[in-house]
């Protein structure tokens, strides 16, 4: 189990390293915002509370989220963490001693590899969830048109089809 935890922690760290290298501070890391791809790799989602342009000694003063989940560095009014060498400090931590960071960053696994999945999970019987056709028949896709990216071909296809 420790190997699996170490792998996923390293994948999250690589994602955060990348964001930090772009001057983006991710401020909503929680299980709900960490997704698992079909090939066992991590995707970080929900960038609504990110802060961009934070490089060097720049800080952010905005408060976001709920007080119950306030970032610990807000309480003592001083910065916590590793500073400018944080990536290296994390990568050299004994917990990650067996991690090949280059392989993690380059996602060097075959797409169909299941080695990162729990073996007990893979033994569970497949249970399909049938779509709710009543809900689907009422979707026109208008709620997504204000998104930064949407697939216009999808909207055209649902306009031409009947789901009932």
* DSSP output for 72-120: GGGTTTS--S-GGGHHHHHHTSGGGTT--HHHHHHT-S-TT--TTS-HH
Cα(138)–Cα(73) distance, integer angstroms:
46
Tens digit of each residue's pLDDT (9 = 90 or more) over 76-131: 665 555 666 778 888 888 888 888 888 888 877 655 566 667 778 778 888 878 77
Residue 162's pLDDT is: 46
Q: Is the dihedral of CA 150, 35, 54, 63 positive or negative?
A: positive
Do residues 18 and 11 make contact, with C-beta atoms less than 8 angstroms apart?
no
Q: Please tell me the least confidently modeled range out of 4-18, 19-33, 147-161.
A: 147-161
What is the mean pLDDT of the segment spanning 20-32?
84
Residue 71's pLDDT is: 64
Residue among 28, 32, 68, 118 flagged as catalytic? 28
DSSP state of 9: H
Cα(56)–Cα(83) distance, integer angstroms:
9
Residue 81's pLDDT is: 59
Residue 104 has, within 13 A of its CA and on its CB side, a CA count of 23
Q: Is 91 exposed, middle or buried (0-12, 13-18, 19+ CB in 10 A)?
A: middle
Question: pLDDT band at residue 65, thresholds of 50, 70 and 90?
Answer: low
Question: pLDDT band at residue 1, thresholds of 50, 70 and 90?
Answer: low
Do residues 149 and 155 make contact, with C-beta atoms less than 8 angstroms apart?
no
Taken in order of first residue, the domains within the chain and their CATH numbers are 2-123 (1.10.510.10), 128-164 (no CATH)
What is the overall mean pLDDT for the chain? 75
Residue 80's pLDDT is: 56
User: Closest Cα to residue 11, out of 145, 149, 105?
Assistant: 105
46 is annotated as an active-site residue: no
Residue 24's pLDDT is: 85
10 pLDDT exceeds 50? Answer: yes
The alpha-carbon radius of gyration of the chain (Å, integer) is: 20
Residue 164's pLDDT is: 37
């Amino acid at each position: 189990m420790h190997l699996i935890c170490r792998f996923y922690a390293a994948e999250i760290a690589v994602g955060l390293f990348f964001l930090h290298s772009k001057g983006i501070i991710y401020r909503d890391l929680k299980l709900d915002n960490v997704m698992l791809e079909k090939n066992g790799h991590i995707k970080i989602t929900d960038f609504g509370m990110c802060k961009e342009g934070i490089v060097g000694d720049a800080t952010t003063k905005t408060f976001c989220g709920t007080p119950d989940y306030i970032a610990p560095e807000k309480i003592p009014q001083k910065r916590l963490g590793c500073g400018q060498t944080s990536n290296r400090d994390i990568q050299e931590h004994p917990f990650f001693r067996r991690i090949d960071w280059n392989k993690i960053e380059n996602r060097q696994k075959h797409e169909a590899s299941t080695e990162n999945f729990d073996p007990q999970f893979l033994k569970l019987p497949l249970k399909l969830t049938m779509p709710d056709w009543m809900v689907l028949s009422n979707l026109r896709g208008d709620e997504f048109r204000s998104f930064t990216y949407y697939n216009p071909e999808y909207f055209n296809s649902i306009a031409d089809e009947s789901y009932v």
